[in-house]
Amino acid sequence: KAKQICPNAAFIKDPFELVQHQDVDVVVELFGGTGIAKDAVLKAIENGKHIVTANKKLLAEYGNEIFPLAEEKNVMVQFEAAVAGGIPIIKALREGLAANQIRSIAGIINGTSNFILTEMREKGSAFTDVLKEAQALGYAEADPTFDIEGHDAGHKITIMSALAFGTPMNFSACYLEGISKLDSRDIKYAEELGYRIKLLGITRKTDKGIELRVHPTLIPE
């Protein structure tokens, strides 16, 4: 079927053959994760190919290998869609705000957790019930750990922190606390005090170093 749509396109089964192919200038990585994606991206860069990826996990955990190699090989790694692609925040940090001294970044950067917390507040439902609803609607994966335990937000804030403060990617230093331990009473008590609970990604430059954290936070209504 793909051949019918693109009769002049070449289809190659082996990605490692593709990333070394002499007719390829740009490799768009869509594997996800850090297994074959990491190996293919590094091999592509070694062979002088530019990279386009939305793989936040790959960049947050292995960016310190990928970006220096890309600089050495004089190729670009473009990753706008890796963090809040619809805004877009990466371009703003790299270009529009490049002359600014950024002191902190904080934001709601995981849609699944935000949906769950909103539903818990509006309906008074238990976390497990809302999680099942989110999975049924396609907002949450069958294994939702990546979202609800803060890993997705952690990868995103790690990338933004590195761009904002000119530091290496340091995901291993990011404090992660998800929303799975919250229940409807927490939401109710927060609301009585005039707050909403949101999962935030936060990075801040201080005299002692860079703060890098993801956790539920009380936000004024």
Residues classed as catalytic: 156
Is the CB of residue 148 less than 8 Å from the CB of residue 216?
A: no
Six-digit token pair at 67? Answer: 């970006």
H helix intervals, 101-141: 111-123, 127-137
Terminus-to-terminus CA distance in the chain, angstroms? 52
Which residues touch 51 (CB under 8 Å, ≥6 apart)? 26, 27, 28, 29, 41, 44, 45, 66, 70, 75, 76, 77, 78
Cβ atoms of residues 57 and 33 within 8 Å = yes
Question: Which residues contact residue 116 at a Cβ distance below 8 angstroms, ignoring those fewer than 6 apart?
Answer: 127, 130, 131, 134, 140, 148, 179
